[in-house]
Chain A
Amino acid sequence: MGGAKNKRQKREDYRAAMREEGVTELPRKKFYRQRAHANPFSDHQLVYPPSPDQMDWSSLYPDYVVEEAKDNEMAGLDATPERAPMTTKPKRLSKEVEVADIGCGFGGLLVGLAPTMPDTLILGLEIRVSVTEFVEDRIKALRAKHHEAKLYRNVGVLRANTMKFLPNFFRKGQLTKIFICFPDPHFKARKHKQRIVSTTLNSEYAYVMRPGGIVYTITDVPDLHEWMVQHFEAHPSFERISEGEQEADPCVEIMRTETEESKKVERHKGQKLVALFRRLEDPAW
């Protein structure tokens, strides 16, 4: 089909142009659309590090890369003779990612959060390829646009299936905040295992979170809200945070207004159901 090819060509041209250096124009969504759902159980063609130690964050957060020479020197002094083969040490950052937006979609939350916590590294994780590319281009354009103020240097996005590979990216206790905003509802009971919140997955969220860290959830679907509350409350590693504390948290307002889905819900005058959960200390063992 000539028309379809033409459209695809246009899309590719547009996206290639967006990737050029110094573009400050923000990307337009229509050139990045993709099927709504990606099956979280299939293998895809995902790229992920074998372990967090082998993750190279330098291209996502170039401003935070630790000077090379120094690092090499350190490695040279390292006396341990036996080094597992293939562990080429990736470049180090001066900080670690501490905030993750799971299923970040088009990145509204990342962009909203970035200026409010300029010293914290924030990462969006998204399973759909072209949606991830949109967010990459968006971050790049924003960095170029706010070059002087050095804004948005602390946000990045990665294509990942968080249901399978969270522990490949994050060490135990690394994260202080996890956002789960307007996750896909998967209404059918048969598909509940595909939900991004479940008792067994909550153990993985607990693993990558530091005690005291907070999981933020928001949805417009009452049954999904109930589901998330039920599953986090039933999990011994989490407790629900009181409404008072919830409303005092500035992140909640950003979550309510800045994500693409929240804006959609706003236009339709829908409800936004919020629930926060604190990661508790593990009991003695």
Chain B
Amino acid sequence: MMAIPYHLLEVCGSIIFAARGSDIHSFTSTFEHISTWEYPVKQREASCAPSPAAQESPAPEEPPAKRRKVQDGQESTSKGQVNGPKATQEKVVNERPFIQGLYVTTDGHHLVAITGSDKTIWVFEHDGAGNLKQLSQRTMPKRPCALALTADNRTILSADKFGDVYALPLIPSNSPSTSPLPPQNFNRSRSSLTPTPSPGPAAALKPQANELTVHTKRNLIALENQKKSLSRKSAEQQSQSSGATPSFEHALLLGHVSMLTAICVATLTTTTTTTSSSISLSNDGQQQPQQQPETRTPTTAKEYILTADRDEHIRVSRGMPQSHVIEGFCLGHDEFVSRLCVAPGGRERVLISGGGDDDLFVWDWPAGRLLCRAGLAGHVKDAMVLVPSGGDGDGGDGNGNGDGQGAGGKQVKVAVTKLLASRWTGCETVVFVACERVPAIFCYNLLDDNTLRHRETVGLPGNPLDVELLGAGRLLVAVDSVTSGEGSSAASSLMVLDQQQAGSEGEAGWRHTPVVPTNESAGGAADINLSTEELQKILYTTESLRKMTDSD
């Protein structure tokens, strides 16, 4: 049995949400436990819950997909059971999908979560005091990788593994066909890219060509194969049609032919001093003397959708209902892009991106222009050779050289898992960066000239799985105390970091305070019947986005 560390955090005013496995917990700012939402386990699956008996003899009628082959050597030793002389045996693994995304609406009234392996988006109502009420559960056609909410908090944008972005109303109306959300025009082909009406089942089941229309050998073969599989497909379609096309309101907004990794909504405010658009021609075509005052539209805010993919692209599309219009790209990454972050504090044109490259990138996204690249790999390298201090703050020596070749000469691979920007008092913009399997947080300053300057590296006792801001100079970090770092007490994996000013208490740095939420019952949902490797496979997914090359 393996304890699961907290791996996703969201802060909503004074309420903290933290996901651990397939459960979402809420805490007060002093880490008093408020509530827990547990992933609903169906009766059948509940019987597979980790009890030794169930593991030893999976019910024979379980479909094979429900089992996972596990090497004997990796079996948890606590059971000490020997199940015949087979080299491998089947074991039922935990069926409950992990929470893989957690988002609060800006008004704090709702929480949205993704569970990965079952492709589901969950919406909860939040009473403002940490209590959640599940409102909906929607299974997407493909696995959602990241979500964003439109500025009005009314629409969820879901970016999926197949490269598509779908819009779903945060609150689904009762009958999808009768009451689409007014401003978004769901299901209207001219305003969104909702798939064109597919031919009815009858049309779909007739071969799409005949011998007279097919002239090449390979097309003929394709036609043959198609005919052969028609009867099989008709059965499949009957049973799958509901799964293939969701029955709830949704609209396809845009798509890449590549796995999407990040999505965010950015707003651009333009100050338009339009002289009265009605240059007012009177009926006879004569121009009226301009007596009425200029109609000033002081600011108009336009929304844009920024999407990043595994093939190094960052795309800028207009927001709804014109999301079919691509305004531009921010191109320059040589490896996958995994995180996007728009600068805070009125610098709405500035985008920071990170991924598998050695550098962080800063963009003027409306212009698609690269403003700066800031070295990250060198700092990562430095952090990897540090002995984690665990207690007293900044261990970074600040000598990161940005080229990924530290003293040891060994190349490090960077995979950015978190970008968090915040404007602190004193007009300072700080960007916090976490990288996969690197036990540190990298702090940068976004300067007025839009360059990023490394400010310090904060060592951690284990790998950060998520980082959120609790206030100026105060961070909440979910540390993987289970599969990385010093292991030790896996009771809690949350840690608060407080920035210390240089002064009476000593040097400037960050004070680490491990926190153990109250009422946190160990065991049960927090434990999982997975090996360390299996758990890591779920928690560390970013580096796997890198493309294989011959040199690897």
Contacting pair A172 B328 (CB below 8 A): yes
Contacting pair B162 A193 (CB below 8 A): yes
Contacting pair B193 A221 (CB below 8 A): no
Instruction: Point out the residues of chain A lying under 8 angstroms from B223, CB to CB.
Output: 187
CB < 8 Å neighbour of A163 from B215, B225, B226, B257: B257
Contacting pair A223 B196 (CB below 8 A): no
- Least distance between B147 CB and chain A CB atoms (Å): 18
Is A204's CB within 8 Å of the partner chain B?
yes
Are A270 and B322 CB-contacts (below 8 A) given A41-B257, A50-B334, A164-B311?
A: no
Contacting pair B329 A167 (CB below 8 A): yes
Chain A residue, CB-CB nearest to B198:
A189
Contacting pair B333 A50 (CB below 8 A): yes
- Least distance between A222 CB and chain B CB atoms (Å): 6
8 Å CB interface, A144-194 against B: 163-165, 167-168, 172, 185-189, 193
Instruction: Point out the residues of chain B lying under 8 angstroms from A69, CB to CB.
Output: none
A2-10, A116-124, A195-203, A247-255 - the one binding chain B = A195-203
CB < 8 Å neighbour of B193 from A193, A200, A224, A285: A200
Chain A residues with a Cβ closer than 8 Å to the other chain, count: 54
Contacting pair B322 A167 (CB below 8 A): no
Is B312's CB within 8 Å of the partner chain A?
yes
Chain B 287-331 near chain A by CB (<8 Å), digits 1 or 0:
000000000000000100000000111010110001011101101
Chain A 206-226 near chain B by CB (<8 Å), digits 1 or 0:
110000000000001111100
Contacting pair A285 B325 (CB below 8 A): yes
A43 to B259, CA, bound (A): 12
Contacting pair A285 B302 (CB below 8 A): yes
Chain A residue, CB-CB nearest to B191:
A236
Chain B 35-62 near chain A by CB (<8 Å), digits 1 or 0:
0000000000000000000000000000
Is A58's CB within 8 Å of the partner chain B?
no
Is B373's CB within 8 Å of the partner chain A?
yes
B204-212, B431-439, B462-470, B479-487 - the one binding chain A = B204-212
A43 to B302, CA, bound (A): 35
- Least distance between B205 CB and chain A CB atoms (Å): 10
Is A271's CB within 8 Å of the partner chain B?
yes
Contacting pair B215 A220 (CB below 8 A): yes
- Least distance between A265 CB and chain B CB atoms (Å): 5
Instruction: Point out the residues of chain B lying under 8 angstroms from A271, CB to CB.
Output: 213
A247 to B266, CA, bound (A): 44
Is B222's CB within 8 Å of the partner chain A?
yes
Chain A residue, CB-CB nearest to B221:
A36
A234 to B251, CA, bound (A): 14
Instruction: Point out the residues of chain A lying under 8 angstroms from B372, CB to CB.
Output: 82, 84
Are A199 and B209 CB-contacts (below 8 A) given A50-B332, A221-B214, A237-B325?
A: no
Are A84 and B370 CB-contacts (below 8 A) given A199-B252, A236-B190, A268-B215?
A: yes
Instruction: Point out the residues of chain A lying under 8 angstroms from B164, CB to CB.
Output: 200
Instruction: Point out the residues of chain B lying under 8 angstroms from A193, CB to CB.
Output: 162, 257
A185 to B213, CA, bound (A): 12
Is B195's CB within 8 Å of the partner chain A?
yes
Contacting pair A43 B313 (CB below 8 A): no
Instruction: Point out the residues of chain A lying under 8 angstroms from B325, CB to CB.
Output: 203, 206, 237, 282-283, 285
Contacting pair A221 B209 (CB below 8 A): yes
Contacting pair B213 A220 (CB below 8 A): yes
A187 to B258, CA, bound (A): 22
Chain B 160-178 near chain A by CB (<8 Å), digits 1 or 0:
0011100000000000000
A186 to B322, CA, bound (A): 29
Contacting pair A223 B208 (CB below 8 A): yes
A268 to B211, CA, bound (A): 11
Instruction: Point out the residues of chain B lying under 8 angstroms from A37, CB to CB.
Output: 218
A37 to B315, CA, bound (A): 28
A271 to B372, CA, bound (A): 54
Contacting pair B312 A50 (CB below 8 A): yes
Instruction: Point out the residues of chain A lying under 8 angstroms from B216, CB to CB.
Output: 261, 264
8 Å CB interface, B110-167 against A: 162-164
Is A230's CB within 8 Å of the partner chain B?
yes
Chain B residue, CB-CB nearest to A202:
B324
Is B189's CB within 8 Å of the partner chain A?
yes
A selection of 20 A-B contacts at a CB cut-off of 8 Å is: A37-B218, A41-B257, A51-B331, A167-B315, A172-B328, A185-B208, A185-B222, A186-B222, A187-B209, A187-B223, A188-B225, A189-B233, A199-B252, A199-B324, A206-B324, A206-B325, A207-B326, A231-B196, A236-B322, A261-B216
Q: A187-B208, A203-B326, A220-B215 are in contact. List 18 more A-B contacts (CB 8 A).
A: A50-B332, A50-B333, A52-B331, A164-B257, A165-B311, A167-B315, A172-B326, A185-B208, A200-B255, A202-B324, A203-B325, A204-B326, A206-B326, A234-B189, A236-B322, A261-B216, A268-B215, A282-B325
Interface residues of B, Cβ cutoff 8 Å to A: 162-164, 189-191, 193, 195-196, 204, 207-209, 212-216, 218-219, 222-223, 225-226, 229, 233, 252, 254-258, 302, 311-313, 315, 317-318, 322, 324-326, 328-329, 331-334, 370, 372-373, 547-550
Interface residues of A, Cβ cutoff 8 Å to B: 36-37, 40-41, 43, 45, 50-52, 82, 84-85, 163-165, 167-168, 172, 185-189, 193, 198-204, 206-207, 220-224, 230-231, 234-237, 261, 264-265, 267-268, 270-271, 282-283, 285
